[in-house]
Amino acid sequence: MEDPADAPTPFANVAAQTTLLAQRYQFYLDQSTPYVFYRWVGSATLLFFFMLRIILSQGWYIVCYSLGIYLLNLFLAFLQPKFDPSLEQDMKERESEEGGVGGELPTRQDEEFRPFIRRLPEFKFWYSATKATVIAFVCTWFSIFDVPVFWPILLLYFCILFTITMRRQIQHMVKYRYLPFDLGKVRYARRSN
């Protein structure tokens, strides 16, 4: 006969099922990693249906605005390097002003290869953007999130915010000479004689 103390509790069963579902979910996420184009097409389709719902229902503009701001924030983190060159330059200037330890001789680092490491990797960018779109889409099912607001003001404010932040980001990229996009391997054309 089984001892009742050895029987699994309902909480243990739920925890085991939750762990199994989490592992299965992670497995499918890992399987989708190499399919960048298809992942982004799926996310764009989801975003299209969300926007279609906003336009047809003529509501939930605050949810749409919040999603836009969050996606802009993710995009900026995707464009920025993990180690900000302006902070590194400030630290070097501060060390030289304070007579830093082991005063280094000035060297040229302009031609030195420095790989671009993103602050937010592509997969995490896609995953966060997709999750946010799903959450925003679910929020449109509840009337509590349908706050009455004059949407042209939100649209104008978002456009101004987008323009200012992107201009600042582009100026930062030009000033510190980094390109956040990988254009692939350079291919040289064969000379014709």
In a domain, 88, yes or no: no
In the chain, how many domains are there? 1
Tell me the pLDDT tens digit for each residue of 79-123: 888 877 767 666 666 666 666 555 555 555 555 556 667 788 999
In a domain, 4, yes or no: no
In a domain, 26, yes or no: yes
> Rounded to two decimals, what is the model's pTM?
0.74
In a domain, 89, yes or no: no
Domain, as residue range, for 162 = 20-80+117-179
pLDDT band at 175 (very low <50, low <70, confident <90, very high): confident
In a domain, 41, yes or no: yes
Q: pLDDT averaged over the chain?
A: 84
DSSP string over the chain: ---GGGSPPHHHHHHHHHHHHHHHHHHHHHHHTT-HHHHHHHHHHHHHHHHHHHHHHT--HHHHHHHHHHHHHHHHHHHSBSS-HHHHHHHHHHHHHTT-TT-PPP---SSS-----BSS-HHHHHHHHHHHHHHHHHHTTSGGG-----HHHHHHHHHHHHHHHHHHHHHHHHHTT---S---S--PPPPP-
